[in-house]
Chains A and B, each alone.
Chain A
Amino acid sequence: MIPDHLTILVVIIPMLGAYTTLLAGWVKRRFCFPIAMVTICIQFCISLMLLYQVMKTGPLHYNLGNWLPPWGIEYVIDPLNGFVLVVLLFLSLLCCMYSRRCIVDEIEEKKIVGFYTVFLLLIAGVCGIAVTGDLFNLYVFLEISSLAAYALVASGREKKAIFASFNYLIMGSVSACFILIGIGYLYIATGTLNMADLARLLPPLYGSTIIQCAFIFFIVGLSIKTALFPLHLWLPDAYSYAPSAVSALIATVMSKVGVYALIRILFTVFTPAFIIMEIPVMELFCWIAAIAIIVGSVLAITQTDLKRMLAYSSVSQMGYIILAIGIANSAAMTGGILYILSDAVMKGCLFMVAGAFIYSTGFRTIEDLKGISRTMPLTAVAFFIATASMIGLPPTVGFMSKWFIALGALESGQWFFVVIILAGSLLTAIYSWRVIEYMYFRDPDMAHQAAVAGANDPPASMLIPILVLASACILCGIFVTIPLEVIEPSVTRLLGGT
């Protein structure tokens, strides 16, 4: 009985968990964390079972309230969904574990109940985006998760976070409005909201202006949500002033789900036939992505604050995924979807390490971290591994995904973007090597000697997620065939149009 309903349970359970957290926090504040943890654990297990089922039997369809698809809301899980869902929930699980000790310093104690409630609501929204097969439902879940993200960014003690969160709210709402207009256009043109139905009805209408308008609105709206280069202005403030656990969560989960929504709308709703043949948008994507890679890295080099540097590096990493989408052949798409995994793993690790430095020493700027590797060895090693993956050194998962993207660029004859990828790696090496040099090869300044000497590796509940992610960077690179087994069928589905 239950196995048929896993699709809906993955969305319902965190919502129930959120309200249970609220009630439990009313009784005793200590109960909040275990309930949140158990909820996400259950969800993670469900997502693994879903992925297994999808790989065995093909896509799962679930009709909400037994209404048939064109009228009712349909939840669909295919290999891409299942893969993204597993990645998202894995990261959420580790972020939740990490948050327990980390937020003690950064959030007032009476807000902890609200923190975990909103945390679970965000995960509910994100899972909803991942499983839904209905455009309007996607908009609603996008708004649920965005509202939760605004609240989480502003939840800390940092003063500037409030204004950053407000800017995020304004930009996010504009993007949501654009997506809403796009959905309206599509609905007026076709009279349906179901993604599969839309893909079936759209081809005869490809020439019409309405469809092109809708497409442009979708692209602009989702570009704001994913912080594609010219529209990234809300991102650095929001990422760097949020509490560390929240930075790790939204940098991995929120941005990745935005990319997923972009892929879904580009390749499932508007089939490749439209985006490649009808309007030359893919070339535009490639160039914007190339600019994003270079400019994001250059801006990251100029930063002095560690979390801010990571935020700008997120902008540049997002460029790689968009570049892969823009090249749009099977090798590049494989690399792009693998990059969703690798960027989530390494960015999560790096933000967690930055949070651990703040937790142990209180230092935010890079120069203060001189000589920190002697007293926090494990954290420093994790930072080194994640950076190596971000640069793209061979055994790591970052290397594999960049390799596939470059392969795709070569296959389609766009050798220029291979140069861009290499240049991006070089710039990444420049800004991250500076941090590593400070951590390993410099002596601490006089003023900070006592603080650096007194620092320790963070407590186990923070260290375990960091080390798990760091080892995942290497393991996913060595055993890359395991994720590829899921990614390849999803790429054929996306590009084949079936």
Chain B
Amino acid sequence: MIETFFQSFFLRYNFYMAVIIMLIGLYAMIAKSNLIKKIIGLNIFQTAIFLFYISSSEVTGGTAPILMSDPGTVYVNPLPHVLILTAIVVAVSTTAVGLALIIRIYETYGTIEEDELLVQEEKT
């Protein structure tokens, strides 16, 4: 029982690691009150998902998906890579929009701590 667990762990520890990092990011988005920390958490969360995708594309003994002259070459699956390229673009745009909003929040309220913001919202 415990042996099979270890076997499966070392076969797929990428996925376990991806899940751990995902949870770290999600925790930061939920529990941290600083808005910049929330965006950092979002970045960590998204990269962990990308790690999950890239891990899924691995092929034992495969090489990078760039065309070689040798016809017998085994390539890793390139489709997840293409998907992740697109997702990285989305991630960086989300970060930019979030940061622009944070700057405007700071200009309006003078703070970027969520609890202080909520107190100020109550007052007005």
Contacts and interface: CB of A to CB of B under 8 A. Distances in A.
Contact of A166 (B80, B83, B101): B101
Contacts of A177: 45-46, 49
Contact of B49 (A143, A163, A170, A180): A180
- Which DSSP category, helix, strand, loop or mixed, fits chain A's interface? helix
B26, B98, B101 interface centre (most CB from chain A within 10 Å): B101
A184 B51 CA distance: 11
B104 A136 contact: no
Given A170-B29, A177-B46, A187-B56, A165 B90 contact: no
A150 B49 contact: no
Given A143-B94, A169-B94, A173-B42, A188 B104 contact: no
B104 A154 contact: yes
B108 A169 contact: no
A151 B98 CA distance: 10
Interface in B66-109: 79-80, 83, 86-87, 90, 93-94, 97-98, 101-102, 104-105, 108-109
Given A163-B117, A169-B97, A143 B56 contact: no
Contact of B121 (A163, A176, A184, A187): A163
Interface residues of B, number: 30
A162 interface: yes
Contacts of A169: 94, 97-98, 101
A159 interface: yes
Contacts of B52: 181, 184
B93 A147 contact: yes
A166 B104 CA distance: 10
B86 A140 contact: yes
B21 interface: no
B53 A166 contact: no
A184 B80 CA distance: 9
A408 B38 CA distance: 44
Interface string A179-196: 011001001100000000
Interface of A: 136, 139-140, 143, 147, 150-151, 154, 159-160, 162-163, 165-166, 169-170, 173-174, 176-177, 180-181, 184, 187-188
Interface of B: 26, 29, 35, 38, 42, 45-46, 49, 52-53, 56, 79-80, 83, 86-87, 90, 93-94, 97-98, 101-102, 104-105, 108-109, 117, 121, 124
10 contacts: A136-B83, A143-B93, A160-B121, A162-B104, A162-B105, A163-B105, A169-B97, A181-B49, A184-B53, A188-B56
